[in-house]
Amino acid sequence: MTKEVREKIQALFDLKGLRMTRPREVILEAAFSDRGDHFTADELFEKARAIDRSTSRATLYRTVALLVEGGLLHEIDLGKGVTSYDPNFIDSPNHNHLVCIDCSNVIEFEDLHISVLEDCITRRLGFTPASKSVQIRARCDALKRAGTCVHLVD
């Protein structure tokens, strides 16, 4: 977990008068230490249980809700049928997702042009933008050509 992430967590906890407990430490560790992987509630539960087997689902759901409300975790829809969570908005507040239909890998990307356009469109429609997201579903060219795919490192 980076220093920045730890600070943001601290700031949120201070702001809301939340207490740092062992169960929460475990869940935070599970959510933010792995190199920015997305996860579902259940995947996070398994990660947390790998750190401390006594992790409970109730506490996990309650903690995730706090983090989402505090903006530290974002709910994203990766087309899995369950909500996924993205811990990377702390480091990259404006990224978007490309989901590969073939290898089901998720690529994050940022694009200033799209951001600006989204902004214009929103204002033209009479609104002030709050959050914007682009989701692209696509097929992996490499997989199609070579039968294998660099993104399959997952």
Partner DNA sequence: TTAGATGCAAAGACTTTGCAGTTAA
Partner DNA sequence: TTAACTGCAAAGTCTTTGCATCTAA
Q: Which positions touch a copy of itself (CB under 8 A)?
A: 77, 98, 100-101, 107, 109, 111, 113-114, 117-118, 121-122, 125-142, 144
Give the distance, in angstroms, between the CA of residue 99 and the centroid of all CA atoms in the same chain: 13
> Residue 72: exposed, middle, or buried by beta-carbon count in 10 A (0-12, 13-18, 19+)?
buried
Shortest distance, position 54 Cβ to DNA, whole Å: 5
What the block records as the tokens of 48 is 């947390």
Shortest distance, position 70 Cβ to a copy of itself, whole Å: 17
What the block records as the tokens of 37 is 């992987």
The Cα 76–Cα 37 span in angstroms is 12
From the list a copy of itself, DNA, none, partner contacted by residue 92 (C-beta under 5 to 8 A by kind)? none
Shortest distance, position 111 Cβ to a copy of itself, whole Å: 6
From the list DNA, a copy of itself, none, partner contacted by residue 46 (C-beta under 5 to 8 A by kind)? none
